[in-house]
Structure 1
Amino acid sequence: MSLRSPALLRPLLCTVALSTPLLATAQDQEAAPGVQAGITIGATTGAYAHYDDKPLVVPALAWQGKRFFASPGSLGMHLYKADGLRVSAVVTPYTLRFKTDDVNDAQLRRLHSRQMSAMAGVNAEYKADWGIVGASVQREVSGHGGGMESSLHYSYPIQAGRFTWVPRVGVVHSSARLLDYYYGISNEEALRSGLAAYRPGSATSPSLQIAVSTPLGSKWRATGVVANQWFGDAVKDSPMTRDGSQTSAFISLMRAF
């Protein structure tokens, strides 16, 4: 069996962990160079307690060259491609954010907002008849503490007529510095809000998701993804959280040019 998971699914799968997943291109990154454009709509719930989760609507643009590539989920450069193995240097968005204007709790509204971050690192992926194994190591580079995140996942694309289904299981390890920015509460914030001060340690979080993609004519492709992540103790113990998991759902419509 030839495993060709649409690249539209891969950057999303790589960022499903504590960040909100994003959709990438509808074409395999090993396909002919080209440009795709479209729109992505989705939402994530459960990341923070008493939070008004709003849908995320973003334009989607992707480009694939022989060495460099761009997608809604990453900017990168292929470092090595041979015998089913691909290694790339990438910059990706870490789209988790906490805006006090969207909080429905008086204490949480007195905390500082947490912004989206940029991550840079290396992704590796190996494809064989038995499935696809991927791993990544990335560091926060946008001035929000410089934390690290690493991931390991396995997926198995299933072709069923015009539909490509991609179930995936994975695990993500997030460093204490990364989690402190998004889930920590400083002493100053504790005094102002009345919440307990909190400094999280590192956490390992498993995830499960299913993605489906189908062409719509010769130029268009639609993709949907539903994912769930179960938080590690360092996240679950934060006064900023209520549930032990978060759920994300995204739909993307892309056109090839």
Structure 2
Amino acid sequence: MANKLALCGITALAIASGAAVQAQERSEQGKLSLGMGVAWVPSPYRAYDNKALPLPMASYEGQRFFLRGPSFGARLWNSSSSELAVALSPIGNRFQHKDSRDPQLKQLNNRDISAQIGLQWQTRGTWGRLALATQKEVTGHGGGHAFDANYSYAMPFGKAVVITPMVGVAYTSSALNDYYYGITAKEAQRSGLPEYRSGSSTAPYAGASAMIRLGSRWSAVGNIRYSRLADAIADSPMVRGSTTVGYSVALLYTF
């Protein structure tokens, strides 16, 4: 996983769906779960029209391949407690100048959703789950890279409810930050905003996901996630504020 709250947007939704459905990994081996929900993730861009977004969800844990939210991966090595995998996942932050109410931001170029690929390692036990990931952007949007480390602990309440708090820290390179938050010389001349080159960033985050079984096939999942933006992002003329909080809820059906 990348700096998914510092990059905010749909990237936070990727974490939301992935974290919630991971509670099913062992009990739902070989089963496919599909669902739909809604997410609210306020953008860090200033004077920006925030919208509730549809959140498609999928979960599948096969012997080698898996789907976790919008991420697709293949295990390179696997044991009863640990795995190493290669995965493709979105960096869903997006800036559309038409959605900004600020006349200067309306003069900037759009920033599009990106994709990243890389290695993910995780290990779990009675003490919880530790996950590490290193990934690189591969869609030509800056070409940067990211590193993420997080710890989570699943807490069952009876047989129907699992709540999983999580804490982590994420690093994002300057190239990736600059694509989403930098302002080029041409954009500065056109908009009147100062030229800005974003550096690399390291940001902590925390959150919790919940899964509630509603029967033998239906489950409800939800997520809340908080992150503090690093100075390299918060100092951008495009950004207002220094924190983000995202929410999502969804229903899943297991086939």
TM-score by length of 1: 0.91
User: Per-residue displacement from partner, 1:105-155 (whole Å, max 9, x unpaired)?
Assistant: 000111011011001001111112212111100100111011101001111
Bigger shift: 52-61 or 161-170? Answer: 52-61
Give the corresponding residue for 1:217. 215
Residue 15 of structure 1: how far off its partner (Å): 4.2
Give the corresponding residue for 1:205. 203
Give the corresponding residue for 1:235. 233
- 1:107 maps to which of 104, 127, 141: 104
Relative to structure 1, the CA distance from residue 40 to residue 112 in structure 2 (aligned partners, 3 Å threshold; closer, same or farther) is same
Relative to structure 1, the CA distance from residue 219 to residue 16 in structure 2 (aligned partners, 3 Å threshold; closer, same or farther) is farther
For structure 1, the residue ranges without an aligned partner over 5 or more in a row are 1-10
Q: Distance in 2 between matches of 1:167 and 1:17?
A: 19
Relative to structure 1, the CA distance from residue 17 to residue 85 in structure 2 (aligned partners, 3 Å threshold; closer, same or farther) is farther
User: What pairs up with 1:189-200 in 2 under 5 angstroms?
Assistant: 189-200=187-198
Relative to structure 1, the CA distance from residue 242 to residue 15 in structure 2 (aligned partners, 3 Å threshold; closer, same or farther) is closer
User: Per-residue displacement from partner, 1:214-248 (whole Å, max 9, x unpaired)?
Assistant: 11110011111010110111001100111001111
User: Per-residue displacement from partner, 1:2-61 (whole Å, max 9, x unpaired)?
Assistant: xxxxxxxxx8x9844523232144763343202111102102114211111111103333
- Aligned amino acid, residue 20 of structure 1: A
Relative to structure 1, the CA distance from residue 48 to residue 14 in structure 2 (aligned partners, 3 Å threshold; closer, same or farther) is closer
Q: Distance in 2 between matches of 1:149 and 1:181?
A: 14
Q: Secondary structure at the match of 2:50?
A: coil
Instruction: Tell me, yes or no, if the aligned pair for 2:13 and 2:55 is still in contact at 8 Å.
Output: no
Relative to structure 1, the CA distance from residue 15 to residue 187 in structure 2 (aligned partners, 3 Å threshold; closer, same or farther) is closer
Number of corresponding residues: 246
Bigger shift: 79-88 or 19-28? Answer: 19-28
Q: What percentage of residue pairs aligned between the two structures are identical?
A: 33
Give the corresponding residue for 1:141. 138
Q: Distance in 1 between matches of 2:104 and 2:137?
A: 28
- Aligned amino acid, residue 86 of structure 1: E
Query: Are residues 1:20 and 2:12 paired?
Result: yes
Instruction: Tell me, yes or no, if the aligned pair for 1:46 and 1:242 is still in contact at 8 Å.
Output: no
Return the structure number with greater helix share.
Answer: 2
Residue 63 of structure 1: how far off its partner (Å): 3.1
Query: Are residues 1:44 and 2:41 paired?
Result: yes
Instruction: Tell me, yes or no, if the aligned pair for 1:209 and 1:225 is still in contact at 8 Å.
Output: yes
Give the corresponding residue for 1:29. 25
User: What pairs up with 1:160-179 in 2 under 5 angstroms?
Assistant: 160-161=157-158, 162-179=160-177
Instruction: Tell me, yes or no, if the aligned pair for 1:26 and 1:254 is still in contact at 8 Å.
Output: no
Relative to structure 1, the CA distance from residue 153 to residue 93 in structure 2 (aligned partners, 3 Å threshold; closer, same or farther) is same
Give the corresponding residue for 1:5. none
Residue 66 of structure 1: how far off its partner (Å): 1.2
Q: Distance in 2 between matches of 1:124 and 1:211?
A: 20
Query: Are residues 1:129 and 2:121 paired?
Result: no
User: Per-residue displacement from partner, 1:141-196 (whole Å, max 9, x unpaired)?
Assistant: 11101110100111111111221111111000000000000000000000000000
Q: Distance in 1 between matches of 2:134 and 2:6?
A: 13
Bigger shift: 96-105 or 67-76? Answer: 67-76
Bigger shift: 147-156 or 68-77? Answer: 68-77
Instruction: Tell me, yes or no, if the aligned pair for 2:3 and 2:171 is still in contact at 8 Å.
Output: no
User: What pairs up with 1:80-119 in 2 under 5 angstroms?
Assistant: 80-119=77-116
TM-score by length of 2: 0.91
Query: Are residues 1:62 and 2:59 paired?
Result: yes
Q: Secondary structure at the match of 2:12?
A: coil
Q: Distance in 1 between matches of 2:5 and 2:233?
A: 15
Q: Distance in 2 between matches of 1:59 and 1:156?
A: 25
- Aligned amino acid, residue 215 of structure 1: R
